[in-house]
Amino acid sequence: MSKYKFILSGGGTGGHIYPAIAIANELKLQFPDAEFLFVGAKDKMEMQKVPQAGYEIKGLWIAGLQRKLTLQNMMFPLKLATSLLESRRIIRQFKPNVVIGTGGFASGPLLQAAGGAGIPTVIQEQNSFPGITNKLLSKKANAICVAYENLERFFPKEKIVLTGNPVRQDLIDIDSKRNEAIAFYGLDPNKKTLLVLGGSLGARRINQLIEKELPNFLSQDVQVIWQCGKLYFEEYKKHNQQNVRVVDFIERMDFVYAAADVIISRAGASSVSELCIVGKPVIFIPSPNVAEDHQTKNAQAIVDAKGAILLKESELESQFSIVFEALLKDDGKQKQLSANIKKLARPDAVKVIVEEIKKLL
């Protein structure tokens, strides 16, 4: 069998990077002698995270369009043209069999260049509402792997495959890791643990909420693992204490999920997919600052299945303490939410995606 070569592109946030790494890991399992190359955006977090996962990465000089008139925006046409030329060069030199994009700035020019060179491309769309880049790329893509139903209005119907989002395989069995996780964070095994996830960069409104509510949590004998994000770590690290662990970025997601009894989270598509597999009671606080309010739609899909609680940012002042305290005291409600969210999990998503990729070899 000839040696296969794959290029993957996904970046900007953990929600684009980790699905790409999960796909690469599964491909590597099935094709141990395959060659892999990642393509990301220079200065973005994928330039660190991908090499840490054991893969080579090349960076493009690309960034997104800002919503207001800025110097960055005026540079965009030049950056795009440069990135397209560089993408063509990478593809010419590496000669991939398939190119896979999981979203982020770099996947646009890369998949465009691959399509132009006649190389099969696969889009992995995580959200219930796709971004403009994937809508444009879908016209030439060979397969579009999606996590939500009813995406025919955005993509050519005959190319859509419902797969779910790829998640880290170390999340499949977290129950066995609870004791190790509690010890890792130096927590008390007899106390309830609240996990707060604001995303890899952080969520200002969630951080403000947690800072305000910390005394309430501690008075209810709740200990906290608080991911405040790298943009906010300097501001909030002062709250690190015996029952509060403030971190900027989480390397061992399996540990924080294993330690958690209740989770507060944004509703990015990858996080939602992970939380379905983890199966713990969740209060979603969607970001209102994303395209088409897709985080609210992501969370609402879980709430409709009675698998989570949804609080909008505008409701936090009046509702949060009441909702949180009621959930904390109601073991039956916690078990019900856990059972219902777990029913929505697609633990085999990454295997299904790789089957689609194999069809193009």
As annotated, the binding site includes 13-15, 127, 168, 200, 250, 295
Query: What's the rounded Cα separation, in Å, for the pair 142 and 123?
Result: 8
Query: What's the rounded Cα separation, in Å, for the pair 273 and 267?
Result: 9
Query: What's the rounded Cα separation, in Å, for the pair 272 and 305?
Result: 13
Query: What's the rounded Cα separation, in Å, for the pair 15 and 350?
Result: 14
**What residue has token string 């983890």?**
278
CB atoms within 10 A of CB 165: 29
Annotated binding site for UDP-N-acetyl-alpha-D-glucosamine: 13-15, 127, 168, 200, 250, 295
Structure tokens at 146: 């999606």
Residues 6+ apart with CB under 8 A from 245: 185, 186, 187, 224, 225, 226
* Whole-number Cα distances in Å, 119 to 59, 141, 157: 20, 10, 21
